[in-house]
């Protein structure tokens, strides 16, 4: 659970624009003729990351993944039978 909270804090911190460079402008870095521009991440990339965060939270609530917490579904691996 601490990992999810940490990811949320990092996400919030990264969303803020602290560079002081307007979006789309040159950052002043150039390597092998490639200039770095201050561009936002694509929206689908951001939504996918946020969706992954919510999926992890729901998964950990439903299944046992937090120490002794049994999950809302009560699933355990010992209930599974091996068939050959």
18 — pLDDT class (breaks 50, 70, 90): low
Confidence grade of residue 44 (pLDDT, cut at 50, 70, 90): very high
Is residue 17, in this structure, part of any structural domain at all? no
Residue 49 lies in a domain: yes
21 vs 6, higher pLDDT: 6
* Residue 20 domain-assigned (yes or no): no
Report if residue 78 sits inside a domain. Answer: no
Average pLDDT of 11-39? 77
Query: 25 in a domain, yes or no?
Result: no
47 within domain boundaries: yes
Q: Is the pTM of this model over 0.75?
A: no
On whether residue 67 sits in a domain, the answer given is yes
Give me the phi and psi of 49, to 5 degrees please: -65, -45
Task: Give the residue numbers spanning the domain of 4.
Answer: 1-9+42-73
User: Could you give the percent of the chain with pLDDT greater than 70?
Assistant: 90
Residue 28: inside a domain: no
């Amino acid at each position: 659970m601490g990992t999810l909270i940490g990811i949320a804090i990092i996400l919030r911190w990264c969303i803020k624009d602290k560079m002081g460079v307007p979006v789309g402008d040159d950052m002043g870095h150039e390597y092998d003729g490639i200039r770095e521009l201050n561009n936002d991440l694509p929206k689908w990339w951001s939504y996918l990351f946020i969706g992954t965060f919510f999926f992890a939270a729901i998964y950990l609530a439903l299944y046992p993944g937090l120490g002794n917490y049994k999950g809302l579904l009560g699933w355990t691996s010992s209930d599974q039978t091996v068939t050959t």
